[in-house]
């Protein structure tokens, strides 16, 4: 909470505290910058008129440092241009004084809610990661270039690590019923995958006569 007006600050701090949130109340731009350098906040409520500088500058500073903390701006001026500027400077929301506390609370809830989205839907084995949505594969964070078939095959294997897939299993899943391919095709792609994933902490193992499985290497204790 960055706010230099006593009564507004007290009211807001009181309201959030009653809701069970911990609040730091800073009254200057400098103090706020210091606090932000030390602490990681879930939400910043920022007044624009500060004794030692504009809240806009503080906001710009925050964003230029790459901080993604949601910011809710408070101001006394209701001009449309002010709001547009605030939002384009990197604010997430905007409220004009005087405001209703219920609305402040609601907007704060909406911003906090946003935070915890984005479930991880990626498949991984060791340092090999496959994102089925973008169909991109990375090894230690570095992108690996795979072709469509190679990714399709890897996706099957990595979806159930340690499970053994017979060649006919793989053929059925990779090709429709009609356009079957020879069993060699699988062996071929296994080879190509191994080559492209060299250096990974996961390995495609052959079980003679049974099929293939992907396994994560135990720590090489080297």
Partner DNA sequence: CCTCCCTTGACAGGTTGATGACAGCTAGCG
Partner DNA sequence: CGCTAGCTGTCATCAACCTGTCAAGGGAGG
Cβ proximity of 213 and 164 under 8 Å: yes
* Nearer residue to DNA within complex by CB, 97 or 167: 167
Q: Minimal distance in Å, beta carbon 151 to DNA?
A: 8
Choice between 76 and 210, CB closer to DNA: 210
Which residue, 64 or 184, has its beta carbon nearer to DNA? 184
CB 120 within 8 A of CB 112: no
- Picked from its own copies, DNA, none, the partner binding residue 81 (CB below 5 to 8 A depending on kind) is its own copies
Q: Is 64 exposed, middle or buried (0-12, 13-18, 19+ CB in 10 A)?
A: exposed
Binding stretches for its own copies (CB under 8 A): 63-64, 66-70, 80-81, 83-84, 87-93, 100, 102-103, 105-107, 109-110, 113-114, 117-121, 133-136, 143, 145, 147-148, 151, 162-166, 207-211, 213, 215
Minimum CB distance to its own copies, residue 51 (Å): 26
* Cα dihedral 173, 176, 179, 180 in deg (nearest 10): 30
By a kind-dependent CB cut-off of 5 to 8 A, residue 213 interacts, out of DNA, its own copies, none, with: its own copies
- Assess contact for 158 and 200: CB atoms under 8 A: no
Token code pair at residue 1: 């909470």
Q: Site map for DNA, 110-149, x if CB under 7 A? A: -----------------------------------x-xxx
Q: How far apart are CA 59 and CA 39, in angstroms?
A: 16
- Note whether 179 binds DNA by CB under 7 A: yes
Supply the minimum distance, in Å, between the C-beta of residue 161 and its own copies.
11
Nearest to 217 by CA among 204, 205, 207, 202: 202
What CA–CA distance (Å, rounded) separates 194 from 80?
Answer: 59
For the chain, where are the alpha helices, taking DSSP H only? 6-18, 29-38, 55-64, 80-89, 101-115, 148-159, 167-174, 183-196
| Residue 27 touches which of its own copies, DNA, none (Cβ within 5-8 Å per kind) | none
Q: Where does this chain bind DNA (CB under 7 A)? A: 145, 147-150, 167, 175, 179-185, 187-191, 194, 206, 208-211
């Amino acid at each position: 909470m960055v706010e230099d007006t006593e009564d507004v600050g007290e009211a807001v701090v009181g309201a959030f505290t009653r809701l069970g949130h911990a609040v730091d109340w800073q009254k200057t731009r400098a103090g706020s910058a210091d606090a932000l350098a030390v602490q990681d906040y879930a939400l910043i409520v920022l007044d624009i008129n500060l004794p030692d500088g504009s809240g806009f500058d503080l906001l710009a500073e925050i964003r230029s440092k790459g901080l993604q903390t949601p910011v809710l701006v408070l101001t006394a001026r209701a001009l449309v241009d002010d709001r547009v500027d605030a939002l384009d400077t990197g604010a997430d929301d905007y409220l004009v004084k005087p405001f209703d506390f219920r609305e402040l609370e609601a907007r704060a809830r909406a911003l906090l809610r946003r935070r915890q989205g984005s479930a991880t839907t990626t498949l991984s084995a060791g340092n090999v990661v496959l994102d089925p949505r973008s169909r991109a594969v990375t090894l230690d964070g570095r992108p690996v270039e795979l072709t469509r078939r190679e990714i399709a095959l890897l996706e099957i294997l990595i979806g159930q690590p340690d499970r053994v897939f017979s060649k006919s299993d793989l053929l059925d899943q990779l090709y429709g019923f009609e356009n079957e391919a020879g069993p060699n095709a699988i062996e071929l792609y296994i080879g190509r995958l191994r080559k492209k994933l060299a250096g990974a902490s996961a390995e495609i193992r052959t079980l003679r006569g049974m099929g293939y499985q992907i396994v994560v290497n135990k720590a090489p204790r080297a």
